[in-house]
Structure 1
Amino acid sequence: MIKLNDYLYSGDTIFRILDKYIADLRKEAKRTHNAIDLTHCNFLLQIRGLLEHNDFLTAQSQQIREFYKYMAKEYPFLAFTFKGRIKSLIRAEAKFNGYIVEYIYDYYVERGTYPSVSEIKDRLSCFRDFIAYRIVISMPKCHYPNEEKRKAEELKCLYEIANVLPGFLEERGFTAESAYGVKISESPLLNEEVKPYYRDYISNQSANGYQSLHITFFDNSSRSFMEVQIRTKTMDDIAEIGQANHTAYEKKQKEERARRDVIPKGECRYFDEAYERGMALLGIELNKLDVNMFGAVDNNLINDGCGLYRGRLILPYEHLSRFQNDLID
């Protein structure tokens, strides 16, 4: 079976790795009449296209920057950062295979049979976060000596920003996408007219402590989807370096193995192959990777600069509170 792991130790560039992986996967898919692997190839081609032909990101990020300027004007005492990224290859590959495993497992548990190829392909059409932007806000403690009041004001600002964002971007060529009832907000701070577009992981906090607002837009100029996440600095720390990050990794491993125990091996090749690819990625040894000049610092960190693991930073903006930085006008 063709797996991404087999191509990550050759010293090739990320583009050569993608080209070889796609070519070999397509050849094997045609030989074995595997329609899901052909869909997999098309998915990988999308990633390659984003990494190679990303001129549209300049125009797109300039539109996002307009909202940054709006926030700088409307919230002079708030500190915030804007960041953007293209989903990394390893994470995108893990998510693709994870969707297959999860969908087939849920289908089997509910119906005692397996989904058709067309049903699996429909499930794999739901990727909306190849491109994502993150707005992280923080109310400086110097403004609110009382910590409880500071956090309340910070949350109030977060939802105010969320209320304005859909209309602001729609005036600039973006269309907000429905969240289809996933994590509908229970917060009275979020306006009713925008609630259908947001997945609210703040009012619907996960067991691992993850909190964030997620909304998806369609960029009518580039004909691509993008996701925007809005968080406080505390929420971002928990998600990136705190409990949510570590717990999610352990939970994923446990869930994947539990699903394998339920689905009889050999009965559904699409499940078997996706499971094997996913588990191989979970066990990847980053410190042994060799992708051209980019290697891992240790088994947890890699700065590849080209979208292999952490993705590329495409929109770094930072605004300090005017109270702390009087250079901002």
Structure 2
Amino acid sequence: MITLNDYLYSGDTVLKILQKYTRDLRKEAKLTHNEIDLMHVNFLIQITELLEHNDFLTAQSQKIREFYKYMAHEYPFLAFTFKGRIKSLIRAEEKFNGYIVEYIYDYYTKHGTYPSVPELKNKLSCFRDFIAYRIVLCMPKCHLKPGEDQEMVSIRYLYEIANVLPGFLEERGFTVESAYGVKKSTSPLLNEDVKPYYRDYICGTNREGYQSLHITVYDNSSRSFMEVQLRTKKMDDNAEIGSANHLGYEKKQQDERARRDAIPEGECVYFDEAYERGMRLLQLELADLDVNMFSAVDNSLINDGCGLFRGRLILPYEHLSRFQNDVID
């Protein structure tokens, strides 16, 4: 079985790694007639094309910057950041295999059998977040009125901004995509006409405590999808450095092993291979990798200049409340 891990110790660039992995995976998939691996190949080609032909990001980020300027004008009292990134190769590979494992596990648990190949392929056609932008905001404590809760006020402004965002992007050449009822918002703060576009992870909690608003749009000029996430600072801290962060390896491994125990080994090759690829990625010691322009001391101290692990930052903006330093305690 071909895995990404096999290519991370050669000193190659990320593009070279992608090219070799794609070539060898395609060759093996054709020999074994593995339709899911062929879809995996197409997934890798999409990432490669983004990295090779990313001039459009300049124009795209300039359009996103227009919303930053709008917020700075309309909400000068808020502190907020805008960031953008291309999903890193390791995270993309984790997600692709994780979708396979999760879908087959859920299907088997519910039906006692395995999904058909067309059903599985349909599930794997939903990647829309290779490019993602994030808006993180907070109401500074110095601007709160007596008795106001900082997080509740921040959430109120978050939904207010979410109500404006779809129309703003539509006017600038983006097409806002339906969320198809996934995580449909029940918040009275979100307007009914925009609710179909958002996946609302704030209303209702999951066991990791992850909270965010997600919306997917299609960039008609570059012919690519992108995702925009909206969070308060508290939500972002929890997602990045708190209980919901992506680096919770032990918990991930426990969840994956529970799924492995539930699926008889050898009955579903797609589950077996995706599970193995995913577990190998979770067990990577980043300090041992040899990838050009990437180095790590350990799994938390990383210089990811190539975008291998955390992703290439394409839009760093920060707006601090312009009146914040004028308030005298």
Category of TM-score, reference length = shorter chain:
over 0.9
Q: Which moved more, 1:179-188 or 1:50-59?
A: 179-188
Q: 1:247 Cα shift?
A: 8.5
For 1:266, the aligned partner's letter is G
For 1:208, the aligned partner's letter is E
Confirm whether residue 227 of structure 1 aligns to residue 214 of structure 2.
no
TM-score, with normalisation over the residues of structure 1? 0.95
* Equivalent residues of 1:141, 1:147 under 8 A apart: no
Partner Cα distance (2:147, 2:92) in 1: 38
Confirm whether residue 70 of structure 1 aligns to residue 104 of structure 2.
no
* Equivalent residues of 1:303, 1:310 under 8 A apart: no
Confirm whether residue 293 of structure 1 aligns to residue 293 of structure 2.
yes
Confirm whether residue 90 of structure 1 aligns to residue 90 of structure 2.
yes
Q: Deviations over 1:172-209 (max 9, x none)?
A: 11111111222221211111111111111112222222
Compared CA separation, residues 325 and 63, structure 1 to 2 (3 A): farther
What's the secondary structure of 2:267's corresponding residue? coil
Structure 1 match to 2:190: 190
Confirm whether residue 204 of structure 1 aligns to residue 218 of structure 2.
no
Structure 1 match to 2:272: 272
What's the secondary structure of 2:313's corresponding residue? coil
Compared CA separation, residues 209 and 110, structure 1 to 2 (3 A): closer
For 1:111, the aligned partner's letter is H
For 1:37, the aligned partner's letter is D
* Equivalent residues of 2:292, 2:306 under 8 A apart: no
For 1:245, the aligned partner's letter is N
Structure 1, unaligned stretches of length 5 or more?
none
What's the secondary structure of 1:148's corresponding residue? coil
Size of the aligned set, in residue pairs, is 326
For 1:265, the aligned partner's letter is E
RMSD: 1.6
Q: Which moved more, 1:42-51 or 1:144-153?
A: 144-153
Q: 1:110 Cα shift?
A: 2.2
For 1:268, the aligned partner's letter is C
For 1:271, the aligned partner's letter is F
Partner Cα distance (2:151, 2:120) in 1: 43
Structure 2 match to 1:47: 47
Structure 1 match to 2:309: 309
Q: Deviations over 1:67-93 (max 9, x none)?
A: 001001000111111000011100100
Compared CA separation, residues 115 and 151, structure 1 to 2 (3 A): closer
Partner Cα distance (2:204, 2:247) in 1: 17
Structure 1 match to 2:243: 243
Compared CA separation, residues 38 and 244, structure 1 to 2 (3 A): same
For 2:307, the aligned partner's letter is G
Matches within 5 A, 1:95-134: 95-134=95-134
Partner Cα distance (1:89, 1:260) in 2: 24
Partner Cα distance (2:171, 2:42) in 1: 32
* Equivalent residues of 1:184, 1:196 under 8 A apart: yes
What's the secondary structure of 1:243's corresponding residue? coil
For 2:316, the aligned partner's letter is P
Q: 1:65 Cα shift?
A: 0.6
TM-score, with normalisation over the residues of structure 2? 0.95
Q: 1:255 Cα shift?
A: 2.1
Compared CA separation, residues 152 and 271, structure 1 to 2 (3 A): closer
Q: 1:258 Cα shift?
A: 1.3
Structure 1 match to 2:156: 156
Q: 1:147 Cα shift?
A: 6.6
For 2:211, the aligned partner's letter is Q
Q: 1:262 Cα shift?
A: 1.6
Q: 1:248 Cα shift?
A: 5.5
* Equivalent residues of 1:208, 1:247 under 8 A apart: no
